Copies of this chain bind each other. A is one copy, B any other.
Amino acid sequence: MAIFRLLILLTVAFSQSIIQISTEKLTLLASDRITGHRKIGKDLYCESWRFTVETNDAGIWDRVPARCEGFVKNYMTGDKYLSDLAAVAENSLAYAKTVKLSGDGKDAWIFDVDETLLSNIPFYASHGFGSEIFDEASFNKWVDMAEAPSIPASLRLYKDLEELGFTIILLTGRTELQRNATECNLQFAGYSNWERLILRKRSDHGKLATIYKSERRKHLEDEGYIIHGNSGDQWSDLLGFAVAKRSFKLPNLMYVVA
């Protein structure tokens, strides 16, 4: 009994010390951040910036904060990004395997293209990994080259979904003018057998991605498709209306699409 009591006392003392340390640290960090006196280290700052980007808390931003340039470059070219991509693909496949398919070809899975099926890291590597303001003309030249490599975890997921019997639909913010280049690039990167590649028409120009993509998902639903899954690196790929039964957010720290 005495040992039992001692154990309880030790546990309580341990918890109390955690609370005290946490509360002090919390107050310090909160006041540092909110008053703008950023005494916290660069890495911690960028790690938390990353949290807010990936959870959509950060909303819309122009470019990677200057102090996080190195952080983003290391992340996007390192193991963590690859491991995150693989983990998302793993979750997606695990869910897909639980879906009962109707067999009528209307069981759809939607993929975004850029930073979801194809990687533009070679382009962004020569444009500061998102730390420079987006240069559309230069990016369009890169798109026309049709040389973006696949994201292997996505390519594997794509093939597994196809094998399971899903109808694969690609929904991208690229425009109809880029249809040829996009189809060539997807084939070059190993993708095939998509049911449809949906691009922005002239009437979609200037529309927020969330609206444009929601409208297209709604059309698909009206055609009888059931959108079981949706994979995209942007929250604007996933939110809005006519959302998929399950949405999968892929990592991307280089840019945000409104």
Residues of A participating in the B interface, judged by any CB pair closer than 8 Å? 11-12, 14-16, 18-19, 21-23, 25-27, 29-34, 40, 44-45, 47-49, 51-52, 54-59, 77, 79-80, 82-93, 95, 119, 121-122, 125-126, 149, 151-153, 156, 160, 246-249, 251
Q: Contacts A15-B122, A44-B79 known; A153 to B54 CB distance under 8 Å? A: no
Q: How many copies of this chain sit in the oligomeric assembly? A: 2
Cα separation A44 to B34 with both chains bound (whole Å): 30
CA distance A138 to B249 in the complex (A): 35
Q: Which of B30, B79, B151 contacts A156 (CB 8 A)?
A: B30
Q: Which of B52, B82, B122, B156 contacts A25 (CB 8 A)?
A: B82
A59 CB → nearest B CB, Å: 7
**Contact across chains for B56 and A249 when beta carbons are under 8 A apart:** yes
How far, in angstroms, from A170 to B135 measured CA to CA in the complex? Answer: 44
Question: What is the bound-complex CA distance between A11 and B127, given in angstroms?
Answer: 10
Q: What are the nearest 7 A-B pairs in CB distance?
A: A48-B87, A30-B153, A33-B86, A26-B152, A55-B249, A48-B83, A15-B125
- State whether A80 and B44 are in contact (beta carbons under 8 Å apart), knowing that A34-B86, A86-B33, A153-B30 are contacts in the complex: yes
- Knowing A54-B54, A55-B54, A247-B56, the reply to whether A47 touches B89 (Cβ < 8 A) is no
> In the complex the two chains form, is A88's CB within 8 Å of B156's CB?
no
A23 vs B251: C-alpha distance in the bound complex, in angstroms? 16
Contact partner of A89 (CB less than 8 A), chosen from B18, B30, B89, is B30
> Which residues of the partner chain B approach A86 to less than 8 Å between Cβ atoms?
26, 29-30, 32-34, 48
> CA–CA, A31 to B85, complex, Å?
12
Residues of chain B lying within 8 A (CB to CB) of residue A251: 51
With a CB–CB cut-off of 8 A, which chain B residues contact A47? 80, 83-84
